A and B are shown apart, each in its own frame.
Chain A
């Protein structure tokens, strides 16, 4: 066991899978000798060679096509999109090609790729680096969308994603890369895709969230605890498909729920979580389903992030409202 940051846990998972399966290939813009703009692939090319870990021309669509074609030849590509705001360049390769190949070829071909990409606010990036675009992916049939919130999950989920035989989008929140350390086992282990985690048990209100908002929800829960409100924090970990069972079990237990996302209200997966609860557990609800999300504007200018991004106090306020409804 070692104390690792999330980015170290990601590098560790990549190294394990490169070692474990000769078909695993890592490529993208500056992921080779440079070790990635965030050092996520640091040392991997040195250890596994340029044949396994390599740089590409600067073209996201080309990277998507490269991954698709390599997968067709039996490789397990793990390409990187430098920032997820650049996904628009490669939307066709992901949602119109990789995501539909198993379906359109009646299961005679499949595309086992994992697209890694950083996103998320709070680190004052320039434009189109931090946008929360997981909702676009979650609306596309045929792909899984994974968003870890801590080092332990990041490693286990990434190993699962690479071993999965269908396309997976693995989104890494930049604010979580180095903000804390956690015990991470040295060996290979998996965290199942499509399974949420109860991060903190509680009995009064369920807060269902993912990504950087998990830490904010825990902070809020600690404050609310002092006021006598017991909050259960559910970390979705995979935002598509949703772990309906865990979500509904928590809501049935507490009877009150607040769905929290960093994405704009009209984006993200919050509305999807809310509709599943409304459809499956309305009789357990003591109050309307609460929601915390960012305003429906374009992602903010760097200096305005703190005004815009949802945080622990927004979550506290909404939980109180729901609790006192």
Chain B
């Protein structure tokens, strides 16, 4: 009788590579707590604050879109739909933690301490938008997709070397996971066991390119395996789940265990940016509607209303307050001084070089005319 030959079964290897990355969810679409074991310990005030943050962000999105259309804002990357993903994660972060946002992550920056008027100046293309206070532990939104990941590994290693009990948190999208810097960032942080939280906001689309064109991997969270670090997929439309997972990742990283990769499954209701992108060219209305039914605001509203913590009145108060805040911030942004080339030249180096010093004189002469 012939003995059974050992074979190399690549299909079996693939299914073991694509291990189970079940999505973490705490609250379902109807606002029911479906995973009470994972429910974070939160006060009523905290819960109300979370809802307030999401409403604030949605209104900020709506007003930013309108202000962009009026020409009163410049570059703007819509955030509607991603409130739970963006604000649920930043809510789990301390003020002394360092935030390295991507270009869509302006709401987190504002929650982390960037004045709204400065966020508007950044959108317009005014240097004062990036004049960060010394205690604002953040960088301006990163335009080069992936760069924030390798930089976060460095910041995280720096925090570790300083023995600080803090983390670096950074964000990219689903398309960004295809970049070399995405992999290098998580791999470096892993090799040094550096306290980094790497968030992938998987909103299904990188401009017009769907998520499945980026990679054959069934989840993005499993890309953590390549770095030898934990990867976790979370319902990015569920504020409580994003908050709980990020908080857990923060505890893990601060305790010296190394970085964590978090994939949030979310959606952007709007276009990629307001710089001419038209999602009706590539996205079905049915898909959009399906995701709108999962709106993170709706489920949190249901949950809080059932608990007697939220009402239409309360929501309208937040909406009005936010609109007022935005109006004030735009007014403040309008007051920003005119930018000067001589100032730009002066900020190139600590000491101007010979040729820069010459150019400062030339431009000052022009500016003083």
A contact set with B: CB distance below 8 Å: 51, 56-57, 59, 61-62, 64-75, 92-93, 96-97, 102-110, 141-142, 144, 164-166, 194, 241-245
In B132-189, the 8 Å CB interface with A consists of 132-134, 139-140, 144, 147, 149-159, 161-162, 168, 180-181, 184-185, 187-188
Instruction: Indicate if the CB atoms of A62 and B153 lie closer than 8 Å.
Output: yes
Instruction: Indicate if the CB atoms of A74 and B150 lie closer than 8 Å.
Output: no
The segment out of B58-66, B218-226, B307-315, B350-358 that lies at the interface is B350-358
Q: Given known contacts A61-B150, A241-B354, is B140 in contact with A69 (CB within 8 Å)?
A: no
CB B19 to nearest CB in A, in angstroms, measures 24
Complex Cα spacing A18 to B62, Å: 52
B-side contacts of A245, CB under 8 Å: 354
Decide yes or no whether B321 CB sits under 8 A from chain A. Answer: no
Which of B128, B158, B346, B347 is within 8 Å of A75, CB to CB?
A: B158
Instruction: Indicate if the CB atoms of B353 and A61 lie closer than 8 Å.
Output: no
| 22 A-B residue pairs with CB within 8 Å | A56-B188, A59-B187, A61-B150, A61-B184, A62-B188, A65-B184, A65-B185, A65-B188, A67-B154, A68-B154, A69-B152, A73-B159, A75-B161, A92-B144, A92-B181, A93-B147, A104-B130, A105-B132, A106-B347, A141-B348, A165-B350, A244-B354
Decide yes or no whether B255 CB sits under 8 A from chain A. Answer: no
Decide yes or no whether B282 CB sits under 8 A from chain A. Answer: no
A-B residue pair count with CB separations less than 8 angstroms = 137
CB A117 to nearest CB in B, in angstroms, measures 18
Complex Cα spacing A96 to B260, Å: 27
A-side contacts of B98, CB under 8 Å: 72-73
Decide yes or no whether B127 CB sits under 8 A from chain A. Answer: yes
Instruction: Indicate if the CB atoms of B355 and A241 lie closer than 8 Å.
Output: yes
B contact set with A: CB distance below 8 Å: 98, 127-128, 130-134, 139-140, 144, 147, 149-159, 161-162, 168, 180-181, 184-185, 187-188, 191, 343-344, 346-350, 353-356
Instruction: Indicate if the CB atoms of B191 and A70 lie closer than 8 Å.
Output: no
Instruction: Indicate if the CB atoms of A103 and B347 lie closer than 8 Å.
Output: yes
Which residue of B has the minimal Cβ distance to A62? B184
CB A190 to nearest CB in B, in angstroms, measures 14
Instruction: Indicate if the CB atoms of A69 and B132 lie closer than 8 Å.
Output: no
Which of B128, B346, B347, B356 is within 8 Å of A241, CB to CB?
A: B356
